[in-house]
A and B are shown apart, each in its own frame.
Chain A
């Protein structure tokens, strides 16, 4: 089994950061060219950064390789290069076999088209042929549990249904090499398990898989070997259990300080879910009692400051907020634990924001990263936009009014 499926050599990718001196308008680019014709032939002068630096690795055929690292460590860039979405700046890679990539669920779905039409469209975009999709169509539909709704335009689907169909199409892709980015973090817990099971089947089926995930439990379950990327370079390669532990250690200890630059009287360093109700540090599995902990480092004494917390949805609506006055703290490390008896949110991505203010002046105000993923079971209206933000079961009773006679 030592046939190499993917081999990369010195793979590097440089991006331009917010191209200096140009606004992305043709008008300005032309003016620029007239003013400084020589610049047309110069490639430097732009602020650039290396998203990936000198990555050399091998993936053997049939291997399931995990790819971990912080946000911005180059995981997605590597997947994008291997799936040919973008080209490397330097280095090269060789891949043996057909490549399928799942960087997003539902790529190419169109709201006006029916589930059936989208299945064909999305399948084709992911690289399946028409015959192949036709052959697998029934299987896809039953995997998505959408038999009755397959001829309904997907704009009428709830987000759960949408994701189920999208994943079902993706899960039936059968390339020799599969590149997967974080897509399993979708839908409700039950469907997630189903997807994980499917991924496991794929993994055992002899396919070569590269899996990017922040959910280390997934990496542990599915991958034999893992690559740890740090700031665009390979930091460590090794068998999953040891490497994931080392990574976790790094995240909780030495990693804390460089999350946010040191400045001011105090600073929030990281946040996580604690207690029973959590699935990883930033994933909320049920709407029951929830405790969120924020790590605060106090550099100089805080006297009677104001502490505020807020929870926002993706549209920046404040969903919940609270504030406490008169907090006094000596220098040191503290955990601020907020416990909510229940957090009945619809599945999705939410952001915490936490702050310390002193006499109306900001000491620290942190838009917490990473964001919180809520993967509770949706109690949904048949159309999502009419379901609201809260995920609360309700009961309907219709009774005659007392004076109806």
Chain B
């Protein structure tokens, strides 16, 4: 970061015209629908700084840094391949086990880490929350965004991996950003609920790991979603991560379950979680600073 010196001093008189000063009105909170997303937009630079800080710290603290980010999904994939694949002989939609599992583990890991980070983010910033104002929504947003760097690294490895196994990407790859967006929004939607609850009730963070584990079993990480009987498929699709993981496998290899109607259910579910989460978080925002 280069810095430019300047002669501006704090004592310099304000040059601004009195007329163009913004007027802030402070009132008791009211309403569920006043989401103040515009304010969030005004603070986008702070959002960037939070993400930047999270990424910096993560790679500074672990000695092996990037290597760890690569190793984690790789090792998980190996364990899955050995136990679910070779031993349990899980059907893999005609994909080699390593590819089948790796394509699921990379988006799943992003999601689970993002969800846990988002759950804890408000509590971790409690001190800051009581000392300075910024739209609190920035916190869960930054939590789900900062995980994307890890994801990107894992994703590059995943691409190399699938290419090495002889899969050539099809046009379906163009849909990947959509699946990723779905994962981000799912983590954000649920994360909004959990982070607000976590700030209000101290025992929520003990629930999250259990929830994440449960959620993984309800997602086609270790098994193909084709195992779910077709008539229950739409219920299964209410879990947006089912669509995401199916989508990743399908888009990268051209094989497996192409997401169809399931995806519509997923998207609808994410919208509900997200809008509800925004409203809930916003509503709780006031009490968060007072609870500390």
Residues of A that sit less than 8 Å from B by CB: 3, 15-16, 24-27, 29, 61, 80-99, 101, 103-104, 107-108, 110, 112-113, 116-117, 120-121, 124-127, 129-130, 134-139, 171-172, 174, 176, 198, 201-202, 204-207
CB of A137 within 8 A of CB of B45, answer no
Name the interface residues of B155-207: CB closer than 8 Å to any CB of A.
197, 200-204, 207
| Residues A101 and B132 in contact, CB atoms below 8 Å apart | yes
Interface: B88 (CB within 8 A): no
Can you list 26 pairs linking A and B with CB atoms under 8 Å apart?
A25-B203, A26-B200, A80-B130, A84-B24, A85-B133, A86-B289, A91-B28, A92-B25, A94-B24, A97-B21, A98-B21, A107-B131, A117-B56, A121-B49, A125-B128, A127-B134, A134-B2, A134-B4, A136-B6, A137-B1, A138-B4, A138-B6, A139-B9, A202-B10, A206-B13, A207-B14
Task: Tell me the nearest residue of chain A to B129, going by C-beta.
Answer: A85
Question: Would you call A110 and B57 a contact (CB within 8 A)?
Answer: yes
Residue B61 CB within 8 A of the other chain: yes
Most buried by A among B3, B5, B202: B3
Contact of A81 with B129 in the complex, beta carbons under 8 Å: no
Report yes or no: B5 in contact with A112, Cβ–Cβ below 8 A: no
Q: Does B46 contact A (CB under 8 A)?
A: yes
Name the CB-closest residue of B to A206.
B13
Q: Within 8 Å of chain A (Cβ to Cβ): is B89?
A: no
Known: A85-B133, A86-B290, A171-B10. A134 touches B23 (CB 8 A): no
Report whether B8 and A176 are in contact in the complex, using a CB–CB cutoff of 8 Å: no
Which residues on the B side are within 8 Å of A171 (C-beta)?
10
| Contact residues in B for A93 (Cβ distance below 8 Å) | 25-26
List B contacts of A61 (CB < 8 A): 18
Chain B nearest CB from A377 CB (Å) reads 25
Residues of B within 8 A of A86 (CB): 286, 289-290
Pair B12/A205 contact, Cβ less than 8 Å: yes
Nearest CB of B to A14, in Å: 10
- A87 close to B203 (CB less than 8 A): no
Does B29 interact with chain A (Cβ within 8 Å)?
yes
Is A136 a contact partner of B8 (Cβ separation < 8 A)?
A: yes
A262 to chain B: closest CB distance in Å?
Answer: 33
State the CA gap A16–B60 with chains docked (Å).
Answer: 41
Instruction: Please tell me if the beta carbons of A90 and B56 are within 8 angstroms of each other in the complex.
Output: no
Interface 1/0 per residue, B27-43 and A, CB below 8 Å: 11100000000000000
Q: Which of A90, A91, A98 contacts B22 (CB 8 A)?
A: A98
- Asked if B133 and A83 sit within 8 Å, CB to CB, the answer is yes
Q: Is B11 an interface residue (CB 8 A)?
A: yes
> In the complex the two chains form, is A83's CB within 8 Å of B132's CB?
yes
Question: Is A103 a contact partner of B131 (Cβ separation < 8 A)?
Answer: yes
Partner of B53, one of A15, A121, A202, A204: A121
A176 touches which of B21, B26, B53, B130 (Cβ 8 Å): B21
Assembly CA distance A98 to B22 (angstroms): 7
Chain A residues with Cβ under 8 A from B129's Cβ? 85
A83 nearest CB across to chain B (Å): 5
Select from chain A the residue with minimum beta-carbon distance to B130. A85
Q: Which of B60, B61, B132 contacts A107 (CB 8 A)?
A: B132
The CB with the most chain B CB atoms within 10 A, among A91, A93, A136, is that of A136
Q: With CB as the reference atom, state the residue of chain B lying closest to A138.
A: B5
**Closest CB-CB distance, A182 to chain B, in whole Å?**
12
- In whole angstroms, what is the CA distance A125 to B1 when docked? 18
What residue of chain A has the Cβ atom nearest to residue B125's Cβ? A108
Once bound together, how far apart are the Cα atoms of A46 and B6, in whole Å? Answer: 54
Given A92-B27, A138-B5, are A206 and B14 also a contact pair (CB < 8 Å)? yes
A92-B26 contact in complex given A26-B197, A85-B289, A107-B132, C-beta closer than 8 Å: yes
Structural contact, B1 and A135, CB atoms closer than 8 A:
no
Cα A82 to Cα B133 in complex, Å, equals: 10
Contact B26 A87 (CB under 8 A): yes
- Residue B231 is within 8 A (CB to CB) of chain A in the complex: no
* Residue of B56, B202, B289, B290 with highest tally of chain A CB at under 10 A: B290
- Is B86 part of the binding interface, using a Cβ–Cβ cutoff of 8 Å? no
Which residue on A lies nearest to B286, using beta carbons? A87
B6 near A139 with CB under 8 A, answer yes
Q: In the complex, A89 Cα to B290 Cα: how many Å?
A: 11
CA distance A34 to B57 in the complex (A): 43
Would A135 and B24 count as touching, CB distance under 8 A? no
> Do A125 and B132 touch across chains, with their CB atoms under 8 A apart?
yes
Query: Does the CB pair B61–A112 fall under 8 Å?
Result: yes
Smallest beta-carbon distance A28→chain B, Å: 8
Cβ of B46 and Cβ of A29 under 8 Å apart? no
Q: Would B16 and A176 count as touching, CB distance under 8 A?
A: yes
